[in-house]
Amino acid sequence: MFQAYDAVDPPEVLAQRAGIPEDKVIKLNGNENPFGPSPRLTEGLANWPGYHIYPDPLQRRARAALGEYVGLDPKHILAGAGADEIIDLLIRATLEPGDRIVNCVPTFGMYSFSAQVQGGKTISVPRSEDFEVDIDGCLLAIKDGAKVVFICSPNNPSGNTTPAGDIQRLLEQDVLVVVDETYAEFSGETLAPLVPEHWNLVVLRSLSKWGGLAGLRVGYGLMSSGLIDFLMAIKPPYNLSAAGEAGLLISLEDKELLLRRCADIVLERGRMAAALGEFPALKVRPSRGNFLLCHAPSGKGHEVYTGLAERGIFLRYFNQPGLEDSFRISVGLPEHTDALISALRELL
Ligand SMILES: Cc1ncc(COP(=O)(O)O)c(C=O)c1O
């Protein structure tokens, strides 16, 4: 049966559900940036010229600015409506109905979702108890004919990264290796410099998290120029909107401030991990993203999740193999952490 993607609801819907005003919602379920976008964005978007003209289908200015940011030639870069769109384009470019992708579960849901939409099949290779990728398991699936391997690093929802040496073993195979680095600005790790040397490496990045542009939808992929040319040919011509392009350029101009905020989020992640670690009932996983994965005692997860939601605090709840009674908690502002900890004291 077709599995719809389980996306997060907007604050007004959450507020209604909890019976509280919208400004009382503490939204820690989407890994969004609690500081919002660059303070230059509102005025920059208001004064941007040319919303009545179609944006550049070849994204020249956006790709040039991204090239400077990641240190690559723009011929290796394609932008889109979020990393989600690049995932979808990659799948459409590579998979025929019945073809397979390798998915290292538990992980971000869009890889298997997009494969399914294309009529493809997902081979799930479970991660270890500590969420490490089973490279040997991936190699077996590749030998069996899988066309694309997705490695999310830092992994959503576990937060751990995959060592470059492990990914190198995959790159030696005749398979497309997609490394999703949506949270790279928080981990400080990237394989972007390896892209020009590897025909089969794709690195995914996004402005949604570090740039605070989740609502504007701006992401990009780094890959061989041949694959870029193919994706350029099959993508909807104006997939990066004028507002998306403007938001991207304004954010990159203000990157020092935005990256300082990432450093603050990383500090707050440490404070939140320490505070959650004080609850004997919770098991907190180390994370390199802007979120923490946390396990509640067996059978208690849903009760804690709903108890928090009733208090206006929304987390991402999981109850599936490898993620029993678990929550992913986005790092918010210090006052959000404090509210979460007080609510947990009432509930645990
Ligand atoms: C690992 C991962 N990849 C991609 C995305 C989607 O990013 P975007 O907002 O750029 O589409 C997300 C969003 O949560 C994510 O967690």
pLDDT of residue 312: 94
Q: Which residues of the chain, if any, have pLDDT below 70?
A: none
All domains of the chain in start order, with CATH: 11-30+256-347 (3.90.1150.10), 41-253 (3.40.640.10)
- Distance from residue 214's CA to the centre of ligand 1 (Å): 9
Task: Report the pLDDT value the prediction gives residue 302, as an integer from 0 to 100.
Answer: 94
Q: Tell me the pLDDT tens digit for each residue of 151-176.
A: 999 999 999 999 999 999 999 999 99
Nearest to 104 by CA among 134, 148, 74, 140: 134
Closest residue by Cα to atom 7, ligand 1, is 83
The residue type of 124 is S
Please state, in angstroms and rounded to a whole number, the distance separating the CA atoms of residues 203 and 180: 6
**Which amino acid residue places its CA nearest to atom 8 of ligand 1?**
82
Q: What is the pLDDT of residue 344?
A: 97
Q: What is the pLDDT of residue 105?
A: 97
* Residue 180 Cβ contacting ligand 1 at under 6 Å: yes
Tell me the pLDDT tens digit for each residue of 29-40. 999 999 999 999
Query: Residue 4's pLDDT is what?
Result: 86
- Around 272, how many Cα atoms within 13 Å sit in the side-chain half-sphere? 31
Ligand 1: distance of its center to the CA of 206 in Å?
A: 7
Helices (H), the chain: 11-18, 41-46, 60-70, 82-94, 110-117, 135-143, 164-171, 184-187, 225-234, 242-253, 255-277, 301-310, 334-347
Q: Is the CB of residue 32 below 6 angstroms from any atom belonging to ligand 1?
A: no
- CB of 214 shorter than 6 A to ligand 1: yes
In this prediction, residue 271 carries a pLDDT of 98
User: Which residues have CB under 8 Å from 220's CB, separation 6+?
Assistant: 66, 77, 78, 79, 80, 83, 86, 204, 205, 206
For 108, which DSSP code? Answer: -
Dihedral sign of CA atoms 312, 105, 6, 241 in order? positive
Report the b/e string of 185-219 with b at 16+ CB within 10 A.
bbbeebbbebbbebebbbbbbbbbbbbbbbebbbb
Residue type, 258: L
What residue type is assigned to position 278 of the chain?
E
Question: What pLDDT sits at residue 18?
Answer: 85
Question: Structure tokens of 301?
Answer: 């997860």
Dist CA 268 CA 272 (whole Å): 6
Phi–psi pair at 243, nearest 5 degrees: -65, -40
